[in-house]
Amino acid sequence: MSTYQIRLLERRARFLERWQTRLSGTAEAIGLLDTNRARHDALLQINKDFHQLSGAAGIYELHTVCSAAMAAEDICIPLLRSGKSASNEDIYSLKIFLSSIVETFAALKTSSGECS
């Protein structure tokens, strides 16, 4: 394994640690939005988290995470632009994408460092 690959794996491990904590906040924001669909502040936070995650995951070549985060952004952006409230389907989809990301992180932490 090259020095670059070793450094990438080390940085990816730190990235996974940091984001696991942040994703707890994202889950809380989705819960707030689920309770009150008019919570524009919660939707903004959810979009911000998924936007930052999609970019960072792309840098670390975590393609599954990047794709799920981008798909979640695709739900948030039209709602933010239109000012509409999230539907049951929107909330469900956000929860599914978040769950997928959390599961991928857990698998990556226990794997030998393979990209996903």
Domain parsing of the chain, residue ranges: 14-110
Assign 67 a pLDDT band (cuts: 50, 70, 90). Answer: very high
Domain 14-110 -> CATH class? mainly alpha
User: Residue 54: what pLDDT?
Assistant: 96
Q: 114: which residues sit within 8 A by CB, 6+ positions away?
A: 108
In percent, the amount of the chain with pLDDT more than 70 equals 96
User: Residue 113: what pLDDT?
Assistant: 47
- For the stretch 31-50, pLDDT in tens is 999 999 989 999 999 999 99
Nearest Cα neighbor of 9 from 89, 94, 96, 114 is 114
Specify the higher pLDDT residue, 4 or 30. Answer: 30
- Specify the amino acid at residue 41: D
Q: Tokens at residue 57, please?
A: 């995951």
Q: At what angle do helices 63-82 and 40-59 cross, to 10 degrees?
A: 150
